[in-house]
Structure 1
Amino acid sequence: MQSSIAQLEVTYLRTTSPKPDPRNPRVHSDKQVRQIAQSIESFGFNVPLLIDDQQMVIAGHGRLLPARRLGRETVPAIRLSHLTKSQRTAFLIADNRLTENSSWDERNCY
């Protein structure tokens, strides 16, 4: 399947602007939100949210919640305007599920 490569641009949005998708299939426990908040505090906000043209979160719900709890004013985001509605849904699921198909190489765990 051929697809064109979209030009991606990181923009910064107020943390109140992105809208979490109410149908997001992932659940983030308070413990995980605290862990992600600690990661953001330690390393910075290094992975942008992925949003659609209406600023609905496609991927990054688990980063938006801790950013808000930490009182961050802005978050980086990439707008995925090139995806259709069905592609956005499929990508949301794939983005979360595909990582479950990997395993750890214990020799490289620092």
Structure 2
Amino acid sequence: MINCIRKILIRRSAGSFYEPALFLLAKKEAGIKRNAPESRLLARSHEEEGSNMRQQIIYQDLSLIHPYEKNPRKNDGAVAAVAESIQEFGFKVPVIVDRNNVIIAGHTRYKAALQLGLDQIPCIVAEDLNDEQIKAYRIADNKVSEAAAWDGELLRGELEQLQAMGYDLAQTGFEEFELDSILRDIQDTDFEDFFVESIERPAKEETTAQTGTARQGEAPAQTSTETPVEPSSRSRIQCPHCGGWIEQ
């Protein structure tokens, strides 16, 4: 476009008011050429940054993925729940692996996939992380989530809506007693209303034990009788959430 404008101005510039315009156009074009390398470098930088943010998800054979042997997170207790979640919602969160297909984040999802008998799972290869970052990310991925907390009122509202839709709330990952507590809005003061049951402990029976058999010419063996222990009354409380009994 600039070339077209230049040709028009050159044809009309001789001895006319177009000469200043031609001068300004040439100056502008020189500035564009001078800044072109810098602009290309900046564009390449943004493109590389964007490529790091847009990681490619690949489907990897489960047999080719390796758990990290020194994974400090104990996750066996969560595998069943994660497996149920995958069955209900699909495998929506990829497993993060390094260049050697060693898991960085997603050990629980990997174990759940094994339990479900899956052949492939979605993965992201973190090629942009160095060894130190990989080791730190393994810890951070689990630790940072602990800083989050539930808004009880909003959570209860969401669960009530799901309940009204007839959805199985067990699929949310909460245990039955947790759901009961959330939906009933049980406060600390409610623990005073535990069901109390008295427990009568039987008294010890009177026992008489001989210390030995008397020999000829010796005094009869002494006998001892324990004083009966009065029955002690204890109680136990029943948890209103799980129904379990706890002795006091």
The TM-score with structure 1 as length reference comes to 0.91
Which of 102, 108, 118 is the equivalent residue of 1:56? Answer: 102
Which of 5, 14, 18 is the equivalent residue of 2:65? Answer: 18
Which ranges of structure 1 fall in alignment gaps of 5 or more residues? none
Deviates more, 1:97-106 or 1:51-60: 97-106
List per-residue Cα deviations over 1:53-102 (Å, max 9, x = no partner): 00000000010001011011100000000101010011111111000011
User: Which has the larger share of helix?
Assistant: 2
AA matched with 2:56: E
AA matched with 1:57: I
- 1:99 aligns to what? 145
How many residues matched? 106
AA matched with 2:138: L
List per-residue Cα deviations over 1:10-55 (Å, max 9, x = no partner): 00001111100001111112x4111111001011000000000000
Confirm whether residue 78 of structure 1 aligns to residue 121 of structure 2.
no
AA matched with 1:38: E
Cα displacement (A) at 1:107:
2.2
The whole-number CA distance in structure 2 between the counterparts of 1:99 and 1:108 is 19
Confirm whether residue 89 of structure 1 aligns to residue 135 of structure 2.
yes
AA matched with 2:91: F
Confirm whether residue 66 of structure 1 aligns to residue 112 of structure 2.
yes
DSSP-derived class of the 2:73 partner:
coil
Cα displacement (A) at 1:108:
2.2
The whole-number CA distance in structure 2 between the counterparts of 1:11 and 1:17 is 13
Percent of residue pairs bearing the same amino acid type: 33
DSSP-derived class of the 2:124 partner:
strand
The whole-number CA distance in structure 1 between the counterparts of 2:92 and 2:104 is 17
The whole-number CA distance in structure 2 between the counterparts of 1:107 and 1:45 is 29
Larger Rg: 2
AA matched with 1:105: D
AA matched with 1:20: P
DSSP-derived class of the 1:16 partner:
helix
The whole-number CA distance in structure 2 between the counterparts of 1:40 and 1:10 is 17
The whole-number CA distance in structure 2 between the counterparts of 1:49 and 1:107 is 32
Which of 50, 56, 62 is the equivalent residue of 1:9? Answer: 56
Q: What's the RMSD between the two structures over aligned residues? A: 1.1
Choose between structure 1 and 2 for higher RCO, CA contacts under 8 A separated by at least 6 residues: 1
